[in-house]
Amino acid sequence: MPVTDNYLQCTLSLFRYYRDLGEKALAQVTDEQISWEPGPGSNSISLLVRHLSGNMRSRFTDFLTSDGEKSWRNRDAEFEEVYADKAALLADWESGWDCLFAAIDPLQASDLERIVYIRNQGHTVLEALNRQLAHYAYHIGQLVYLCRLLAGEGWASLSIPKGQSDAFNREKFAGEKSRKFFTDK
């Protein structure tokens, strides 16, 4: 497989991985917990999701043809307005991801060298995808941590649970070597 095709496939898999990680974490908190802030000036789950969703819609609406920082986006409000409930949060979360995947699912290897702009700064499509992937991983890590704190003892691990690394590795090494992405089942 050409490296550019592999890059697109891996990037899509990583975006899906981080979306799923966030969804599994969000499933473990209540309506009341989504607006909790650990301290003054900190972000709640609600604010993180609003920011992520707003960023996705801005960056990926007309991805190849317009600046990624849209005039209709109010970034500052993303850090002020909380959702009424978890259902509204999840609907907005899904809206952001739908916009992202609608823009990048059809990309071809030949698109990776095209120039797109974010605040008038030119990026190749490859650079823009890397920028957004890193940004979303950063905030989803924060979101997962907040969910973990709030879920407490009821938390269901999203990775290898503490004390189970040896068993996990035994299972993996018991299988045949194969070429697949780490998120593949």
Query: What integer pLDDT is reported at residue 185 of this predicted model?
Result: 73
Percent of the chain having pLDDT more than 70? 100
Beta-carbon contacts of residue 108 (< 8 Å; ≥ 6 apart): 8
E-strand spans in the chain?
115-118, 121-124
pLDDT tens string 19-40: 999 999 999 999 999 999 999 9
Distances (CA, A) of 70 to 47, 62, 78, 85, 124: 19, 10, 14, 27, 18
Query: What integer pLDDT is reported at residue 137 of this predicted model?
Result: 98
pLDDT tens string 153-168: 999 999 998 999 999 8
Beta-carbon contacts of residue 139 (< 8 Å; ≥ 6 apart): 48, 51, 52
Instruction: Work out the pLDDT band at 183, boundaries 50, 70, 90.
Output: confident
| 76 burial type by CB count under 10 A (0-12 exposed, 13-18 middle, 19+ buried) | exposed
Please answer whether residues 73 and 42 qualify as being in contact, where contact means their C-beta atoms are separated by less than 8 angstroms: no
Asked whether residue 65 carries a pLDDT value surpassing 90, the answer given is: yes
Beta-carbon contacts of residue 49 (< 8 Å; ≥ 6 apart): 22, 26, 34, 83, 89, 92, 93, 143
Asked whether residue 114 carries a pLDDT value surpassing 90, the answer given is: yes
Beta-carbon contacts of residue 109 (< 8 Å; ≥ 6 apart): 2, 4, 5, 7, 8
pLDDT tens string 70-98: 999 999 999 998 899 999 999 999 999 99
Q: d(Cα 50, Cα 82) in Å, to the nearest integer?
A: 8
Q: How far is CA 139 from the centre of its chain?
A: 8
Query: What integer pLDDT is reported at residue 1 of this predicted model?
Result: 74
Q: Which structural domains are found in the chain, ordered by start?
A: 3-158 (1.20.120.450)
Please answer whether residues 59 and 68 qualify as being in contact, where contact means their C-beta atoms are separated by less than 8 angstroms: yes
